Structure 1
Amino acid sequence: MSRVRKVGLIGWGAIGRVVGGAVAAGGVPGAELVAVVDNRPLGDAVPAPQMTVEQVVEHCDLIVEAAGQGVVRGWGETILASGTDLLVASTGALTDEELSKKLLTTGPGRVYFTGGAVGGLDVLQAVRAMGPLSEIRLTTTKLPSTLEQPWMDEQLLTAMRTATGPVEVMRGTAREVPVRFPKSTNVAASVALAVGDLDAVRVSVVADPAAVHTSHVIEANGPQGSYRFEVRHQPDPANPATSQVVPYAVLRSLAALAGRSGQIL
């Protein structure tokens, strides 16, 4: 009989509430919600005891990060060094190559990543194993209000706020873009992780006032063939900067780690 994974959840926001509620309700066979970590006092709002990170590593063998890139940077090594596994939702943190290397080499805990709001990563990994791709592009389109950042100047902010059609707000690599949009572009990092090259993925971030859905379009070309994946998600009502599907992607990854059989990997 396989062991039950004792799960600690960091973050009780739009993603954490769905993930924590499902695990607590028995929705992930082989996983038990043991604790929740959040920097706010949550009281009876959570279905498991609220703990600090230091406490949760003593009680859990798997921690799910659902609180942002800062948690991965600040606590990733500590969690893994304690022998606890870590499932990362905020893959944008891995654009820091030094941090990525540390997380991949620190143990005895193991680090895992979820694809989040994008599909086709398994195909990109398989294709990349055949050889380098000559061109990889990602276009992410969201509502302007979800893309506003402190570093933007008044001219760009005004263009976004008064736009009547799509406006490109940044173009760069998967190394550059997630740093500038820490809550909105984890997909860029996920694609880069799949192809193994942060600088090969060219990213365009577009603000569109008519973007009812959050859109991610991946296009890749090389000697192996041509590939195009497009997803259009409903934004999460509680946090429009993320897609409604993200917590369910986390739950799927958690189910795989908990040992659920019979699924496509």
Structure 2
Amino acid sequence: MTAGTHRTRRIGLIGWGAIGRVVGTALAQHSLPGAELTSIVDNHPLGDSAPAPHVTFEEALRRCDLIVEAAGPGVVREWGERVLRSGTDLLIASAGALTDEDLAKRLHAAGPGRLYVTGGAVGGLDLLQAARSLGPLHEVRLTTTKLPTTLEQPWMDEELLARLRTATGPVEVMTGTARDIPGKFPQSTNVAATLALTVGDPDGVRVTIVADPAAHHTRHVIEATGTHGTYRFDVAHRPDPHTPATSQIVPHAVLRSLAALTGRTGQIL
């Protein structure tokens, strides 16, 4: 490969849901120069509209040099190490999987494939990383507000479920750290996990989950205080109409990460 040129990345996509469909369609339409969608892995039939072959996980590894996970933290736990050990790079959307400290250590130790994590539904992470390089962040808080129906979990007792289902205003569902909250809400707290990775301390990030029947947007408020400054980010996204636990912005964040990995010039990193 000569200077100034970039090889085409052969992309395999795991998951054909709210994230995967948007990412896969954009790749198939050649919206991302330097990236070619070669395969899709999913447990369900895709029909004739799929823009790439529907293959097994093993076949995807043979076809690809970059796998994009868009199917949930279980995929990261089950297949992450195998992807990296095969020499294939892995971009994950389900950052919540990395709050499992043992899994995170195994993935970071695996190779020769490289592990990447997309920022997903929140911004300001680059600024927090820069601030952290100047000195410790003394306090980091995240408040996530979503529709009550997207937060119901099998472990909840009848009293808590009743509070969610009859809420007429905001209801605080749980407060904890960025280490334990993602395990309780695996489809709703990738932002908490991503923030924990950014600041390097899952136990130092306090997370509050709020259910609000009027939450037409999914809202994330990050507040951080450090030696050299105070930072606050407030974002509100429209949820995907078919999968309300996922914000519409997430697949576009994945595409932006892919653009960086395929060498697109002129972007802010």
Settle same-fold status: TM greater than 0.5.
yes
Q: Which amino acid aligns with 1:244?
A: Q
Partner of 1:15: 19
2:101 to 84, 97, 100: 97
1:126 to 125, 130, 133: 130
Percent identical residues:
70
Partner of 2:154: 150
* CA distance in structure 1 between the aligned counterparts of 2:49 and 2:228, rounded to whole angstroms: 51
* CA distance in structure 2 between the aligned counterparts of 1:138 and 1:238, rounded to whole angstroms: 26
The 3-state SS of whatever aligns with 1:169 is strand
1:101 deviation in Å? 1.1
2:230 to 226, 233, 241: 226
Q: Is the 8 A contact 2:131 2:226 kept in 1?
A: no
2:261 to 238, 257, 262: 257
1:84 to 70, 74, 88: 88
1:43 deviation in Å? 2.9
* CA distance in structure 2 between the aligned counterparts of 1:107 and 1:222, rounded to whole angstroms: 34
* CA distance in structure 2 between the aligned counterparts of 1:223 and 1:32, rounded to whole angstroms: 44
Q: Which amino acid aligns with 1:33?
A: L
Tell me, yes or no, if structure 1 residue 176 matches structure 2 residue 180.
Answer: yes
Tell me, yes or no, if structure 1 residue 37 matches structure 2 residue 41.
Answer: yes
CA-to-aligned-CA distance 1:17-50 (integer Å, 9 cap, x gap): 0000000100111000000000112131310001
Partner of 1:112: 116
The 3-state SS of whatever aligns with 2:197 is helix
1:102 deviation in Å? 1.1
Q: Which amino acid aligns with 2:65?
A: D
Tell me, yes or no, if structure 1 residue 74 matches structure 2 residue 81.
Answer: no
Q: Mean Cα displacement is larger for which, 8-17 or 43-52?
A: 43-52
CA-to-aligned-CA distance 1:209-265 (integer Å, 9 cap, x gap): 010110000000122111000000000111000100000000000111011011000
Q: Which amino acid aligns with 1:233?
A: H
Q: Which amino acid aligns with 2:84?
A: L
Tell me, yes or no, if structure 1 residue 195 matches structure 2 residue 199.
Answer: yes
TM-score normalized with structure 2 length: 0.98
* CA distance in structure 2 between the aligned counterparts of 1:256 and 1:249, rounded to whole angstroms: 11
Supply the RMSD in Å over aligned alpha carbons. Answer: 0.6
How many equivalent residue pairs?
Answer: 265
1:165 to 164, 169, 185: 169
Q: Which amino acid aligns with 2:64?
A: C
* CA distance in structure 2 between the aligned counterparts of 1:17 and 1:112, rounded to whole angstroms: 20
The 3-state SS of whatever aligns with 2:209 is strand
Q: Is the 8 A contact 2:15 2:40 kept in 1?
A: yes
Q: Which amino acid aligns with 1:75?
A: W
Q: Mean Cα displacement is larger for which, 34-43 or 68-77?
A: 34-43
TM-score normalized with structure 1 length: 0.99
* CA distance in structure 1 between the aligned counterparts of 2:33 and 2:153, rounded to whole angstroms: 40
The 3-state SS of whatever aligns with 1:187 is helix
The 3-state SS of whatever aligns with 1:23 is helix
The 3-state SS of whatever aligns with 1:139 is strand
Q: Which 5+ residue runs of structure 2 have no aligned equivalent?
A: none
Q: Which amino acid aligns with 2:205?
A: V
Q: Which 5+ residue runs of structure 1 have no aligned equivalent?
A: none
Q: Which amino acid aligns with 1:191?
A: L
The 3-state SS of whatever aligns with 1:227 is strand
Q: Which amino acid aligns with 1:89?
A: A
